[in-house]
Structure formats: C-alpha cells, structure tokens
C-alpha cells in the first residue's frame, strides 16, 4: 500500500504555511490520499490547499471529499470556479454530491453548470433511488458499426480523455439503440482496417434504468464485468455503470443487511457521521416491536406460574434453553438469508433447505442434549425425570428453532418481504415463546405437575 507518505510532515508544512513546498509534495499523491489529507485540515486551510491544486486534479480530489467538506468548499468558491469544477466532475459523482447537499447549495451548483450538464444531472436525479439509472454515468465511448478499427482509435483519441471508462465501447445505430459492444482489447487485437460491426459482440449483457442496483451488482458478480450498459425501455443506451460504483453498492448492500439483521433501520451515512438522534430513531422501532413480542413470552410464563411455584429449580434452566434455541435458530436463518442475498439459495430450494436444517438440527440437538443431561445428572443426582425434561426440551427446541430459522427467510421472500428481517432478533423472540411452551408442557407431563 502507498502508506509511505508522512502525514505529520504535510501537516507541519500546512501549519507553518509553507504552501509552495506543500503543493510540490501533494502533487506526488493520488487524489484519494490528497482528499484524505484535506479532510484532516481546518476549514480555513481546506480552502487554501484546495485552491492551489491544478484544475483537473482539483475536481478529482473534490469527488473524493466528504459532503461536508464539499459544501464548505462550494461556499467559498466564486461562481466561475464552481462552474469549472461541476463541468469537470463525472456525472455520477456530481449526482452523488447533489443528493446529499442542502437545497440552497444544490441550486447554486446547478445554476453554474452549463445547460447540457444541468439537463444531464437533472435527468439522473429523477431515476428512482437505488436504481441502475441512479448509479450510472453518461461518460462512455459510443461508436458506429461502419467505423474501422483505425477510425475507432482516432475517435477515442479525440473524445476519450474524460470518459470514465474507455475500455468498453458501445456501438449504437442512428436512434441510439444499442447494437453491440467492442472492447479496446478487441480493437488492439484486430487489424486497423476491419469494421467494428464485424468484431463487435452482439450478445450484450445490459440493465434497464429502473432495475434495482442489487440486480446490477449480481450481473457484475456473475459475469465478472468492468462496466455494464444501461438502456431505457426503448432499448436506447443512456449510460453505463462502472465496476468501482458497483463495489460501493455491494458494500452498502452488505452493510444494510447487517443492520437489518440486527433489528435496525439501515442508516444513510456511516456510523461516526450519523447523529445520536438518528441512530436512536433507527433502533427504537424494532426494539419496541420485539419488546412487546417478548411480553407474549412473559405471558406464557405466567400461565405456568403454578409449575415453577412447585419446583422453582425449573426457572433456572430457562436462560440456557431460550438462549440455545435462539442461537441455533439464528445460525440457520443467517446462513439462509446470506445465501439468498448472494443468489446461491432461491425459493425453489425450500425443501432442500428444510431437510438439510432438520438433519443438522438432529445432530446438533442430540450432542447438546447429551452434554446437558450428563451435567444435570451429576449436579442433581436422583432427579432423572427433571434431567430428562430439560434434555428433551433442548432437543426439540433446537429442531424447531433450526426449522423456523430455515423456513422464515424463504417464506418472507415468497411473500415479497425482505428476508433480512427474519434474522436473529425476530427468530429469537419466536423461538423463546415456542421453547417455553415445549418446556413447561413436557415438565407438566413428565413431572406430573
């Protein structure tokens, strides 16, 4: 990794206002690292350092900054400077920024963009959130079928420099309908006089603007793509999605699943940037729902008050029973939810999953039951029926828990709900109630209560 630059040294130069020397050193770095350095500066130095970057680099660095810094820099720029930055940004970066900025700043940004850029940005802002349209960029190389390889190279040399990816070129007819793709590799590997139409690949993997970004990510994963063309409902090419944006999407989707599976509403921003109130808001809803559900479990306990009034010892096995049941169920639901998220498990695998979980549950349940029985028979000699009750309850609980954990995520999918909500917290609550009913029923039967 490029960790050989000395942040302290740069900071010292900034503090002692040796800006010329600082500039020379910064020029050696990648835009991502320059942005990370600027993030750490105070607001006055941010503007000074940013202004000394050369024009082209400035917009690259700008795209890497956090939205708060971007807002700060925008507010300190002249309209002319702002216009230059906006024109230099890739459309998808500009859209990302505008989605986060306050309305007044957005207005100023759009006012300073050229009409063409403004039109493009507005168009992108109108695609539904998390759709292919919302993450695409309009910067791609478009070719025609009757061009030769040589003409294609000339075209790329002339127009390609600010295209986000030039390695896949898109061949369109006069109405912008997508006809095929040709990679720069294809161009390099064919004689200069060959026509594009003869070497292009007409079996194009593509997405429609309104398609969900998760499906887009699936295509990248499945086919190992670097970019994917996005077409409208009339099959006309409107943009491309590039792999770097898809990497972000995949990461974001995984994070959302982690949050949902831990009973939270996914947050828009990273943890450290999310306010305390927003965090509390994201968490309280599910906590309330689950708290009220667990009162049902309390109600079940209340029904068996007479049982543990006679044998108070019964109560002490409750945490072991409900925790183990909850854990066993969460293991299963986590495997199934993740398997569905990466496309490995589909709804038609329902019965395979159930049988698999049943078999695993029996193996695991028997081992846990035996360990428990041995422990209890040593601790409470002579109380064989009590030990048997606990062991059997545990075995049945594990089997029921793993079945519930396997069934519910797939069932959720069938009913068009998000499988991720059928995760540990909800499974635990359900399994709690079920395991207590099993336990006390068995206890009443076997211990004659």
Stretch that binds a copy of itself, among 38-46, 102-110, 229-237, 251-259 (CB under 8 A): 251-259
Q: Which ranges of 235-275 does DSSP label H, i.e. alpha helix?
A: 243-261
Which residue in the set 123, 294, 383, 403 belongs to the binding site for a copy of itself (CB under 8 A)? 294
The DSSP 8-state label assigned to residue 167 in this structure reads S
Report how far residue 342's alpha carbon sits from residue 322's, in angstroms, rounded to the nearest whole number: 30
* Min separation Cβ 304 and a copy of itself, Å: 9
Examine residue 364 and tell whether it contacts a copy of itself (CB under 8 A): yes
Question: Are residues 152 and 186 in contact, defined by beta-carbon separation less than 8 angstroms?
Answer: no
Hey, which residues between 110 and 139 contact a copy of itself (CB under 8 A)?
none
Taking residue 28's Cβ as centre, other Cβ atoms within 10 Å add up to 10
Q: Of the two residues 121 and 211, which places its CB atom closer to a copy of itself in the complex? A: 211
Report how far residue 2's alpha carbon sits from residue 109's, in angstroms, rounded to the nearest whole number: 34
Hey, which residues between 308 and 327 contact a copy of itself (CB under 8 A)?
308-309, 312-313, 315-320, 322-324, 326-327
* Min separation Cβ 449 and a copy of itself, Å: 14
Report how far residue 87's alpha carbon sits from residue 162's, in angstroms, rounded to the nearest whole number: 11
Q: Of the two residues 19 and 286, which places its CB atom closer to a copy of itself in the complex? A: 286
* Min separation Cβ 262 and a copy of itself, Å: 4
> Quick one: CA dihedral 299, 304, 310, 316, positive or negative?
negative
Q: With contacts defined by CB under 8 A, how many residues of the chain interact with a copy of itself? A: 116
Stretch that binds a copy of itself, among 44-52, 99-107, 307-315, 407-415 (CB under 8 A): 307-315
Examine residue 40 and tell whether it contacts a copy of itself (CB under 8 A): no
Examine residue 175 and tell whether it contacts a copy of itself (CB under 8 A): no
Report how far residue 159's alpha carbon sits from residue 141's, in angstroms, rounded to the nearest whole number: 8
Q: Of the two residues 243 and 388, which places its CB atom closer to a copy of itself in the complex? A: 243
Examine residue 80 and tell whether it contacts a copy of itself (CB under 8 A): no
* Min separation Cβ 222 and a copy of itself, Å: 6
Question: Are residues 133 and 239 in contact, defined by beta-carbon separation less than 8 angstroms?
Answer: yes
Alpha carbon distance, N-terminus to C-terminus of the chain? 68
Examine residue 368 and tell whether it contacts a copy of itself (CB under 8 A): yes
* Min separation Cβ 303 and a copy of itself, Å: 9
Which residue in the set 279, 385, 414, 417 belongs to the binding site for a copy of itself (CB under 8 A)? 279
Question: Are residues 279 and 267 in contact, defined by beta-carbon separation less than 8 angstroms?
Answer: yes
Which residue in the set 23, 83, 286, 442 belongs to the binding site for a copy of itself (CB under 8 A)? 286
Stretch that binds a copy of itself, among 15-23, 46-54, 70-78, 330-338 (CB under 8 A): 330-338
Hey, which residues between 187 and 246 contact a copy of itself (CB under 8 A)?
188-189, 203-207, 211, 215, 219-226, 243-244, 246
Q: Of the two residues 25 and 47, which places its CB atom closer to a copy of itself in the complex? A: 25
* Min separation Cβ 301 and a copy of itself, Å: 4
* Min separation Cβ 248 and a copy of itself, Å: 8
Q: Of the two residues 113 and 260, which places its CB atom closer to a copy of itself in the complex? A: 260
Question: Are residues 389 and 442 in contact, defined by beta-carbon separation less than 8 angstroms?
Answer: yes
Hey, which residues between 382 and 441 contact a copy of itself (CB under 8 A)?
424-425, 428-429, 432, 436
Instruction: Tell me the two tokens of residue 66.
Output: 């956090």
Question: Are residues 389 and 438 in contact, defined by beta-carbon separation less than 8 angstroms?
Answer: no
Report how far residue 391's alpha carbon sits from residue 279's, in angstroms, rounded to the nearest whole number: 41
Laid out side by side, the sheet with 207-208 consists of 207-208, 227-231, 237-242
How many Cα atoms within 13 Å fall on the side-chain side of residue 89?
29
What residues does 207 pair with on adjacent strands? 230
442: CB partners within 8 A, 6+ apart = 389, 392, 393, 396
* Min separation Cβ 380 and a copy of itself, Å: 11
* Min separation Cβ 32 and a copy of itself, Å: 5
* C-alpha distances in Å from residue 111, one per residue of 65, 122, 126: 21, 12, 18
Hey, which residues between 258 and 277 contact a copy of itself (CB under 8 A)?
258-259, 261-264, 270-272, 276-277
Taking alpha carbons only, the member of 80, 79, 83 closest to residue 94 is 83
* Min separation Cβ 263 and a copy of itself, Å: 6
């Amino acid at each position: 990794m490029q960790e050989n630059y000395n942040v302290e040294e740069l900071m010292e130069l900034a503090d002692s206002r040796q800006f010329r020397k600082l500039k020379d050193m910064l020029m050696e770095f990648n835009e991502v690292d320059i942005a990370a350095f600027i993030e750490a500066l105070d607001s006055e130095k941010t503007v000074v350092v940013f202004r000394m970057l050369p024009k082209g680099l400035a917009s690259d660095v700008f795209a890497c900054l956090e939205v708060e810094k971007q807002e700060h820099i925008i507010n300190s720029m002249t309209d002319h400077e702002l216009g230059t930055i906006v024109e230099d940004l890739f459309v998808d970066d500009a859209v990302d920024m505008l989605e986060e900025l306050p309305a007044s700043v957005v207005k100023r940004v759009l006012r300073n963009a050229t009409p063409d850029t403004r039109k493009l940005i507005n168009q992108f802002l109108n695609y539904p959130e998390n759709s292919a349209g919302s993450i695409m960029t309009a910067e791609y190389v478009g070719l025609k079928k009757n061009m030769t390889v040589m003409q294609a190279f000339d075209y790329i040399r002339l127009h390609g420099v600010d295209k986000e990816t030039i390695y896949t070129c898109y061949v369109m007819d006069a109405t912008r309908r997508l006809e095929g793709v040709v990679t720069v590799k294809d161009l390099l590997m064919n004689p200069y006089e060959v026509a594009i139409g003869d070497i292009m690949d007409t079996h194009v993997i593509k997405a429609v603007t309104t398609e969900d970004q998760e499906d887009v990510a699936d295509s990248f994963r499945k086919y190992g793509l670097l970019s994917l063309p996005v077409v409208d409902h009339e099959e006309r090419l409107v943009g491309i999605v590039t792999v770097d944006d898809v990497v972000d999407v995949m990461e974001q989707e995984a994070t959302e699943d982690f949050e949902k599976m831990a009973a939270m509403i996914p947050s828009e921003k990273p943890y450290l940037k999310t306010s305390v109130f927003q965090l509390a808001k994201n968490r309280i809803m599910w906590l309330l729902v689950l708290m009220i559900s667990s009162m049902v479990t309390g109600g079940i306990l209340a029904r068996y008050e007479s049982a543990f009034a006679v044998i108070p010892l019964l109560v002490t096995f409750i945490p072991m029973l409900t925790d183990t049941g909850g854990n066993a169920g969460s293991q299963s639901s986590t495997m199934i939810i993740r398997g569905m998220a990466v496309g490995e498990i589909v709804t038609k695998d329902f019965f395979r999953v159930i049988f698999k979980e049943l078999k695993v549950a029996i193996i695991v349940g028997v081992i846990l039951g035996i360990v428990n029985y041995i422990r209890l028979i040593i601790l409470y000699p002579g109380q064989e029926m009590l030990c048997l009750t606990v062991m059997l309850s545990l075995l049945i609980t594990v089997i029921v828990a793993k079945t519930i954990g396997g069934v519910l995520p797939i069932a959720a999918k069938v009913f068009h709900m998000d499988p991720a909500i059928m995760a540990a917290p909800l499974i635990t609550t359900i399994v709690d109630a079920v395991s207590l009913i099993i336990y006390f029923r068995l206890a009443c039967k076997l211990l004659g209560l």
